[in-house]
């Protein structure tokens, strides 16, 4: 990747910074026939559901004619044949719907600190609920519940063998008081361990909702 710091601008005039560009010989294919053209891709840091945008210079070099109603593109092959590339209708719908979701700018982020010599390893991705906007945390393997003496339960992976489960189970049942089951169990966390700041949009205006007066029952 070649460094490049000239910004690009969207339809609304919003500025998007670039990280660089890369020249790639891109292959367009239909069946066994292909056409390869050099394309310079700008690398930008922007939240989008699309991986690549092809501009007019690339389409003109390809000699392409695009039909948006049919989600298809036709272009001549080196041998003179007309090649057609069709888009996935379902994937196009998903990308379009994802692009309609509002993206509010994040002015502040979490600050995770590890005090020197503490031996505590913290990950910002583990503590930041904004990581994975549309993805919920799910177990990577099947689990089975383990009932604890205090009435709570936790899930253990079914991949544990009998010996491992026999070791872990008494440790968990004998130390249930060490787990935080609610916010009441967390009276405070030393800022040297971790500090969290609420991610908000500083320029957002406070809006006072009008009082709704309910009519008398008749």
Element (H, E) at 92: helix 89-99
Q: What is the model's pLDDT at position 133?
A: 47
Residue bearing tokens 């040297």 = 192
Instruction: Note whether 88 and 132 are same-domain residues.
Output: no
Instruction: Note whether 46 and 130 are same-domain residues.
Output: no
- Domain membership of residue 24 as a residue range: 2-99
Instruction: Note whether 41 and 72 are same-domain residues.
Output: yes
Q: Which residues of the chain are modeled with pLDDT < 50?
A: 106-110, 112, 123-127, 129-134
Strand partners, 51: none
Q: What is the model's pLDDT at position 121?
A: 52
Nearest residue to 155 (alpha-carbon basis) of 167, 169, 166, 174: 169
Q: How far apart are CA 64 and CA 83, in angstroms?
A: 9
- Judge residue 73's burial from the number of C-beta atoms within 10 Å of its C-beta, 0-12 exposed, 13-18 middle, 19 or more buried: buried
Assess if residue 35 is contained within a domain: yes
Quote the number of domains for the chain.
2
Instruction: Note whether 11 and 72 are same-domain residues.
Output: yes
Instruction: Note whether 94 and 123 are same-domain residues.
Output: no
Assess if residue 186 is contained within a domain: no
**pTM: predicted TM-score of the whole model, two decimal places:** 0.41
Instruction: Note whether 170 and 197 are same-domain residues.
Output: yes
Q: What is the model's pLDDT at position 110?
A: 47
Instruction: Note whether 17 and 84 are same-domain residues.
Output: yes
pLDDT, tens only, 58-78? 889 989 998 888 888 899 988
Instruction: Note whether 55 and 116 are same-domain residues.
Output: no
211 in Cβ contact with 116 (< 8 Å)? no
């Amino acid at each position: 990747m070649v460094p490049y710091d000239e910004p690009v601008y969207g339809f609304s005039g919003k500025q998007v910074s670039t990280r660089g560009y890369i020249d790639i010989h891109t292959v367009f294919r239909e069946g066994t026939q292909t056409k390869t053209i050099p394309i310079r891709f700008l690398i930008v840091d922007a939240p989008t559901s699309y991986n690549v945008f092809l501009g007019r210079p690339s389409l003109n070099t390809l000699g392409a004619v695009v039909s948006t109603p049919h989600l298809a593109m036709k272009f001549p092959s080196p041998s003179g044949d007309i090649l057609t590339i069709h888009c996935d209708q379902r994937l196009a719908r998903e990308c379009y719907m994802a692009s309609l979701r509002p993206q509010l700018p994040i002015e502040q982020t979490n600050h995770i600190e590890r005090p020197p010599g503490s031996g505590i390893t913290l990950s910002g991705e583990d503590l930041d609920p904004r990581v994975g906007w549309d993805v919920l945390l799910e177990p990577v393997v099947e689990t089975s519940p383990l009932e604890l003496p205090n009435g709570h339960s936790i899930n253990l992976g079914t991949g544990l063998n009998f010996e491992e489960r026999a070791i872990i189970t008494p440790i968990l049942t004998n130390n249930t008081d060490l787990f935080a089951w609610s916010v009441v169990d967390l009276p405070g966390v030393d800022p040297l361990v971790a500090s969290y700041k609420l991610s908000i949009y500083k320029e957002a205006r406070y809006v006072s909702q009008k009082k709704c007066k309910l009519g008398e029952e008749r």
